[in-house]
Structures are given as structure tokens and as C-alpha cells.
């Protein structure tokens, strides 16, 4: 573990966007610290496996992997991702409404953990694979949100802490993220995006549909298996 490189905390859900965000942080030469947050979502176990496999791929040592259990997000409810009583709808992104999978103010919990850990590690950057355009309308995936969070970090941490949030994918379309991932040799085969299943991706939930459409538009073969593939 080299202390010469500055450290970046990378939020790694295990999905394709965070996989490419990790590849961007690696490309930029940072020492990588991977943070994963489980919050009682249906696919928590599968996402955690993807997290560790992507971390193995980038040789992230055990002491620079942090897994947070934000069980209270599940207790708070309000989302089909955490509430067993709410079905995960098929792709809703065409509706323009905020989908049922929206977890209220979720990214603030993840970023807060990244800032707390980043301050202790003396890190300089937090990488998050948030995407504005393909974000299904989640309010906390917009660039404005992250720039306000930067100001919050500056106001709420020690004077010697200078942590900035890096959002390398924020203005990219899913197909552009696929192409960029290919350029960076991001390990897409280890990533997991499905909101419904833990073994074979369903291919029809909003997350699967966005992913499959992105690969199709980029004319790249998605390396993971699906139960069902819609054609685009």
C-alpha cells in the first residue's frame, strides 16, 4: 500500500456505474478505498459479492474496504427496494415520474459515510457513479446536488480536510458509460445491476432495462447472463 498517492473513497454499489467510477479513480492514480452500503435492499447479498469481486480486481486491501449497514433506511421504508410490501415495478423511467424504487435521500447517507471515512483516512476525493440523465428521475442524482454537498463538506469538516466529490459519469448517457468502461477495462463481468434477483438478472426491472439498453446502444455485448432480454 503506497502512501505516496492521494486517496479516493469510491462508492461501490456493485452496479455498472460504480464499476466505471472505480475504473476512473484507478485511472486517475488514486489509492483506492472502497465503500459499500447495504440498506436492506432485496439484492443486498448479490451486490455485496459484486463489491468484493470488483475490489479484488483492483487489489483493494481489506483495511481499505468498508461495508456499512444502513438498516434504518429499510426501517424508514417508502421504497420498493426495501419494503417487501411494495412490488418492484417494471421499467418506469418512461413515465417521467419518480419511480417506486426511489429511496428518500439515500445518497446523502452514502456520501456522509464517505466523508466521515475520508476525513479519517485523509482522503482528497470521493468518487460516485451518479448519472443525471439516465437517473430515472431520482432527485439526488443531479449535479447541482453534488455541488451543494461539496459546500456542506467544506463547512462541516476540519479546516485541514479538503474532500471533493467527483462525479465522472454525471452527464453521460448509459451507452457512453459502457464505452468509457470498455476504454478503461472496467470489469463489467463482475458488476450487478438487477433490482429483483440474486442469481440471474431479471432483464425487465428498470435497472436491467437501462443497462441492457445502454449496452445495446453502445454496440457492446453485456457479459452477464439475463433471464430475459428485451430488444431495443
| Interacting residues toward a copy of itself by CB under 8 A | 66, 68-73, 75-78, 98, 102-109, 111-113, 115-117, 119-120, 139-140, 142, 144-145, 148-149, 151-153, 155-159
Report how far apart the first and last C-alpha atoms of the chain are (Å, whole number).
44
Minimum distance from CB of 197 to a copy of itself (Å)?
26
The rounded radius of gyration (Å) of the Cα atoms in the chain is 17
Q: Which is nearer to a copy of itself, 163 or 178 (CB)?
A: 163
**Cα 122 from Cα 117, distance rounded (Å):** 8
**Cα 134 from Cα 116, distance rounded (Å):** 28
Q: For 195, how many CA atoms within 13 A lie in the half-sphere containing its CB?
A: 26
Give the residue ranges of DSSP H helices in the chain. 16-27, 44-57, 71-76, 106-121, 143-156, 174-183, 206-218
Q: Which is nearer to a copy of itself, 4 or 120 (CB)?
A: 120
Q: Which is nearer to a copy of itself, 153 or 205 (CB)?
A: 153
Minimum distance from CB of 127 to a copy of itself (Å)?
17
Minimum distance from CB of 152 to a copy of itself (Å)?
5
Minimum distance from CB of 128 to a copy of itself (Å)?
13
Those residues whose C-beta lies under 8 Å from the C-beta of residue 135, and which sit 6 or more positions away, are 141, 142
Q: Which is nearer to a copy of itself, 113 or 218 (CB)?
A: 113
Spacing of C-alpha 82 from chain mean position: 17
Q: Which is nearer to a copy of itself, 104 or 227 (CB)?
A: 104
Instruction: Give the DSSP letter string of 36-49.
Output: EEE-S-TTHHHHHH
**Cα 78 from Cα 92, distance rounded (Å):** 17
Minimum distance from CB of 145 to a copy of itself (Å)?
5
Q: Which is nearer to a copy of itself, 85 or 159 (CB)?
A: 159
Neighbours of 33 (CB within 10 A): 25
**Cα 48 from Cα 69, distance rounded (Å):** 11
Q: Which is nearer to a copy of itself, 109 or 173 (CB)?
A: 109
Minimum distance from CB of 33 to a copy of itself (Å)?
11
Minimum distance from CB of 9 to a copy of itself (Å)?
11
Amino acid at each position: 500500500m503506497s502512501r505516496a498517492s492521494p486517496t479516493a473513497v469510491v462508492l461501490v454499489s456493485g452496479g455498472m456505474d460504480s464499476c466505471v467510477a472505480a475504473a476512473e479513480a484507478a485511472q486517475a492514480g488514486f489509492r483506492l478505498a472502497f465503500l459499500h452500503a447495504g440498506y436492506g435492499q432485496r439484492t443486498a447479498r448479490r451486490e455485496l459479492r459484486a463489491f468484493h469481486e470488483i475490489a479484488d480486481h483492483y487489489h483493494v486491501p481489506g483495511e481499505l474496504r468498508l461495508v456499512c449497514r444502513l438498516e434504518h433506511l429499510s426501517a424508514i421504508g417508502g421504497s420498493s427496494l426495501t419494503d417487501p410490501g411494495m412490488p418492484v415495478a417494471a421499467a418506469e423511467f418512461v413515465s417521467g415520474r419518480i419511480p417506486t424504487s426511489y429511496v428518500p435521500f439515500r445518497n446523502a447517507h452514502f456520501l456522509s459515510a464517505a466523508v466521515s471515512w475520508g476525513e479519517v483516512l485523509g482522503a482528497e476525493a470521493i468518487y460516485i457513479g451518479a448519472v443525471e440523465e439516465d437517473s430515472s428521475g431520482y432527485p439526488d442524482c443531479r449535479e447541482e446536488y453534488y455541488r451543494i454537498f461539496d459546500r456542506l463538506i467544506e463547512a462541516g469538516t476540519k479546516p485541514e480536510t479538503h474532500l471533493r466529490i467527483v462525479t465522472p459519469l454525471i452527464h453521460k448517457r448509459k451507452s457512453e458509460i459502457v464505452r468509457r468502461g470498455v476504454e478503461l477495462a472496467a470489469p463489467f463481468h463482475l458488476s450487478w445491476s438487477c433490482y429483483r434477483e440474486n442469481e440471474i438478472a431479471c432483464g425487465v426491472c428498470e435497472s436491467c432495462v437501462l443497462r441492457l439498453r445502454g449496452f445495446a446502444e453502445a454496440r457492446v455485448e453485456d457479459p452477464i447472463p439475463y433471464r430475459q432480454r428485451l430488444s431495443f
